Structure 1
């Protein structure tokens, strides 16, 4: 049996294009599920902090953050947010930048590594991004993160211990080191089977095509080897 295609995704919880890219990847892979020889894919998320200097509690909304903390003109920021909200809607995501609570995401990344350790990374990634972009929940404080972890079936006390002890912080840093080694400077970034790099929130069709292509290459190699 052909081994699963491995797709490693570098992203940040607070990256609007990362949530769009995640959803487009899922939609694209779902489109291949009905293929006679459907690709088998294993997706793993890796940590990337877009703004590691962000405070845990930022006083203001996304417009305030990008215009003051990042020095971007407010009109430009407003137009940019309207654009990404429209793109998100096409992907089936309902963004609400007006209630978004901007925060530091390092603890969220630690939680994702904890979730991966317990087989719930897929669910935890979705829950964090949904909480952040569509529900206006805080994803930077330990109490809030523990509550979200419990919602996806993780043990609350174990999640709290992992976050307080910073047990998974080295895992976050290792992901960031690997991103630098790959030359990744922006997210989302998808590494397919360790050899194909796909940058940005590509449309679902692009993800479906690359999954089929790699799967076909794998199957052909097995036939040749046989």
Structure 2
């Protein structure tokens, strides 16, 4: 059944706080997109920065186990946790590869997403950075590597590189993170629908679809 709303009601605004380093953010992204496809309800999505490990260096030399132990997990928790993440990713068509994944500070990556937003290509940039990080072993903390990714989605590489070198969007990233804390967001992914409904975590597609249908119904009623 297609629940496409009348264009007169406008798309449903969805603000998403996420981190490039968060596997559940990528998994949740795919589940949310599946809900949009299933319902046919138009949405306007905007991504906002939230760093889970802002103190991580750009060149983190440790293993996945080292990283997760920094995040508070014990050694015996790591293997089952990664198995669960990889399995959940596979269910939504993603192939996470923790053998080649490279951890890094994500401030530069979030700045590139802000740059792409100014160019009207934020969604494409978010997807490309996440794929590079989780599936390709790309380094998403270096200016040059990020500029290459920008070029791949159609952005001007030199303009992107200049913005990254100048830290042009660092204040935007910090402002988004501060706003998240004011809203009481303490983990990601976190979805805010129409500035009214908050959904935390990589929920099932059906949960996202339920929220979209509820809001679509409300918007149609308001427009009537």
- For the residues of structure 1 that align with 2:42 and 2:188, how far apart are their CA atoms? 24
**8 Å contact kept, 2:36–2:42:** no
TM-score normalised according to structure 1 size? 0.94
Please give the root-mean-square deviation of Cα atoms over the aligned residues, in Å: 0.9
- For the residues of structure 1 that align with 2:185 and 2:71, how far apart are their CA atoms? 21
Instruction: State the match for 2:191 in structure 1.
Output: 190
Question: Tell me, what secondary structure is at the counterpart of 1:191?
Answer: strand
Render the CA deviation track for 1:88-122: whole Å, top value 9, x for unaligned.
Answer: 11111111111100000000000000000001111
| Paired residues, number | 217
Out of 42, 45, 48, which is 2:44 matched to? 42
Residue 51 in structure 1 maps to residue 64 in structure 2: no
What stretches of structure 2 of length at least 5 have no aligned partner?
1-7
Deviation at 1:73, TM superposition (A): 1.8
Instruction: State the match for 1:36 in structure 2.
Output: none
Deviation at 1:167, TM superposition (A): 1.1
Out of 52, 62, 65, which is 1:63 matched to? 65
**8 Å contact kept, 1:6–1:42:** yes
Question: Where do 1:1-226 residues align within 5 Å?
Answer: 1-33=8-40, 39-67=41-69, 69-223=70-224
- For the residues of structure 1 that align with 2:117 and 2:105, how far apart are their CA atoms? 20
**8 Å contact kept, 1:99–1:135:** yes
- For the residues of structure 1 that align with 2:71 and 2:37, how far apart are their CA atoms? 37
**8 Å contact kept, 1:56–1:103:** yes
**8 Å contact kept, 1:61–1:99:** no
**8 Å contact kept, 2:25–2:189:** yes
Deviation at 1:212, TM superposition (A): 1.2
Deviation at 1:3, TM superposition (A): 2.0
What stretches of structure 1 of length at least 5 have no aligned partner?
34-38
TM-score normalised according to structure 2 size? 0.95
Question: Structure 1 stretches (4+) deviating beyond 4 angstroms?
Answer: none
**8 Å contact kept, 1:61–1:97:** no
- For the residues of structure 2 that align with 1:3 and 1:155, how far apart are their CA atoms? 31
